[in-house]
DNA sequence: ATTGCTGCAAACGATTTGCATGAGG
DNA sequence: CCTCATGCAAATCGTTTGCAGCAAT
């Protein structure tokens, strides 16, 4: 089983909304690839076929999936890709994800919470009111809790609030910033 | 590191509010012990000194703690208690936890969300508007994400919503129930 | 060419299980 | 007494790391 933290980190890379019922559009996927690739360039890493394949596979399902699932998925397009590479690439995704990359969504935490079917990380940044990012919560976890209590879980939310580096240098506990 | 799911499940056993700054009252602890013990009886398990000790230790901190931390804590009252027992007992806790056990809190999910410093599981039950239960989120997770982005994380929330067995037999997607 | 990437296998940490002994009902 | 609980050590799971060869810049 995959501990949430991996996915939390991973999913923040790009506007993958797990609660969207539809597949990501081609533009979205292209956009995501660009984000990732430019990140690679920025930090002097290489753009390889495997990384492409893994990113694609990752984007092309809106399902919550485990690392193992992703590995299976990836192997459909390239059976030679190993487990290790999937792990390493996922880590890269999470590196590529950064609060700096702020989508248009500037919803307040409160607003974000109201989306259905998925968990959301909301970051409070100095300029960007809220980076609403995207998290494929742990299906396992949800099911596990649900089954134990004979509940059908309908959705869950996960939010982490924090103060960014910039803000930390300023006054502690600013009243304005909605933390 | 402890995967969230363990704690999630575990913490639901009784009204342990991680966001409360104060210790649990003696009555609360007694209440919790009763819940646990009667669960043990119900399923034909035994009430042992170790289980008592672990439950106490578990209740007496409102800190988020790892299994390892709990083990240390437990060993203060009985150094002979082993790691394995802690693990097994935690699992028992989560078995004992059930939506049926509904505390007086009938806050709506929305209300629950506004508490500070902790994550909360909110269950929607047929009669009981919301079983607000209690989750010691993963400190590790929070820090991990925070560090990665040079954020100081201030708090996080985790909520799972679900439909209980009773409700499932009724109309699907009831408008009234605040899911 | 140089540097980083890959896959494999071995290492690792957290959790679980098998088993013989010990304690609770 | 009989059953379950315990502690230990060994097994297992998911993930990470070291390394030799391969691929991208």
- Average pLDDT score, chain A: 54
B108 touches chain A (CB under 8 A): no
Contact A135, A119 (CB under 8 A): yes
Query: B142, A160 in Cβ contact below 8 A?
Result: yes
CB contact under 8 A, A148 and B94: yes
Distance in Å, residue B60 CA to nucleotide D5 C1': 24
* pLDDT surpassing 60 at residue A64: no
Q: Can you read off the two tokens belonging to residue B37?
A: 């013990």
Predicted confidence band of residue A34 (pLDDT cuts 50, 70, 90) = confident
A178 and B CB contact within 8 Å: no
State whether residue B150 sits within 8 Å of chain A by CB.
Answer: yes
pTM above 0.95, yes or no: no
Contact between residue B108 and residue B178 where contact means Cβ atoms under 8 Å apart: yes
Put simply, whether B43 touches A (Cβ < 8 Å) is no
Q: Which protein residues have any CB–strand D distance under 7 A? A: A 1-3, 6, 46-49, 66-68, 83-84, 87-88, 91; B 40, 44-46, 48, 50-51, 78, 80-82, 84-85, 88-89
Q: Give the integer Cα–Cα distance in Å for B71 and A131.
A: 38
Protein-contacted bases of chain C (C-beta within 7 A): 3-9, 13-18, 23-25
**Cα–Cα distances in angstroms (integers) from residue B142 to residues A27, A135, B105, B154, in the given order:** 32, 14, 27, 9
Lowest mean pLDDT among A64-73, B93-102, B149-158: B149-158
Contacts with B80 (C-beta within 8 Å, 6 or more apart), sequence order: none
Under the banding of pLDDT at 50, 70 and 90, the label for residue A60 is confident
Tokens matching residue A63? 């399902």
Q: Say how far residue B136 (Cα) sits from the centre of its chain.
A: 7
SS3 per residue for B27-72: HHHHHHHHHHHHHHHHCCCCCCHHHHHHHHHHHHCCCCCCHHHHHH
Q: How far is CA B134 from CA B18, B44, B93, B104, B165, in A?
A: 7, 26, 13, 14, 21
Instruction: List the beta bridge partners of residue A163.
Output: A124, B152
User: How many inter-chain contacts (A to B, CB under 8 Å) are there?
Assistant: 122
CA dist B10 → B4, B59, B161 (Å)? 10, 11, 17
Identify the burial level of B55 via C-beta atoms within 10 angstroms of its C-beta, where 0-12 means exposed, 13-18 middle and 19 or more buried: buried
- Rounded CA separation B138/A137 (Å): 14
* Residues, CB < 7 Å to strand C: A 40, 44-46, 48-51, 78, 80-82, 84-85, 88-89; B 1-3, 6, 46-49, 66-68, 83-84, 87-88, 91
Please give, rounded to a whole number of angstroms, the shortest distance from the CA of A78 to a CA of chain B.
31
Closest residue (CA) to C1' of nucleotide C9 is A84
Q: Helix (H, G, I), strand (E, B), or coil: what is residue A160?
A: strand
d(CA B29, CA B170): 36
Contact assessment for residue B158 and residue A157, using Cβ atoms and an 8 Å cutoff: yes
A165·B151 Cβ contact <8 A? yes
Which of B95, B141, B148 comes nearest A94 by C-beta? B148
Sole residue written with tokens 């999470």: A94
* Predicted local confidence at residue B41, as pLDDT: 92
3-state helix, strand, coil in chain A (%, to 5): 45, 10, 45
Q: Which of A91-105, A117-131, B6-20, B73-87 has the lowest mean pLDDT?
A: A117-131
* Beta carbons within 8 Å of A85's beta carbon, 6+ residues apart: A50, A54
The predicted-structure confidence for A82-118, as pLDDT tens digits, reads as follows 999 998 988 887 666 543 332 322 222 222 222 222 2
A9 touches chain B (CB under 8 A): yes
DSSP B131-147: EE--B---HHHHHHHHH
Hey, are the CB atoms on A148 and B1 less than 8 Å from each other?
no
Helix (H) or strand (E) holding A161: strand A152-164
List, for residues B12-26, the tens digit of each pLDDT value: 334 343 333 345 667
CB under 8 Å to B90, separation ≥6 — which residues? B6, B10, B54, B58, B67, B70
Nearest to B164 among A4, A142, A150 (CB): A150
| Chain centroid offset of residue B138 CA | 12
What confidence score (pLDDT) does residue A62 get? 56
pLDDT at A81 over 50: yes
A5/B148 CB distance under 8 A: no
- Rounded to an integer, what distance in angstroms lies between the CA atom of residue B134 and that of residue B116? 12
Q: Cβ A145–B99 below 8 Å, yes or no?
A: no
């Amino acid at each position: 089983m995959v501990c949430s933290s991996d996915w939390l980190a991973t999913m923040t890379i790009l506007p993958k909304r797990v609660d969207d019922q539809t597949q990501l559009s081609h533009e979205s996927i292209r956009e995501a690839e660009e984000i990732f690739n430019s990140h690679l360039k920025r930090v002097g890493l290489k753009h390889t076929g495997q990384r492409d394949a893994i990113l694609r596979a990752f984007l092309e399902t809106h399902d919550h999936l485990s690392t193992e699932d992703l590995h299976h998925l990836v192997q459909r397009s390239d059976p030679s890709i190993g487990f290790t590479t999937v792990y390493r690439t996922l880590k890269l995704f999470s590196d590529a994800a950064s609060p700096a990359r702020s989508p248009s969504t500037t919803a307040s935490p409160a607003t974000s919470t109201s989306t259905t079917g998925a968990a959301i990380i909301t970051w409070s940044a100095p300029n960007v009111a809220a980076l609403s990012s995207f998290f494929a919560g742990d299906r396992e976890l949800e099911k596990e809790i649900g089954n134990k209590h004979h509940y059908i879980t309908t959705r869950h939310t996960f939010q982490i609030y924090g103060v960014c580096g910039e803000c930390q240098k300023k006054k502690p506990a600013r009243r304005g910033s909605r933390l």
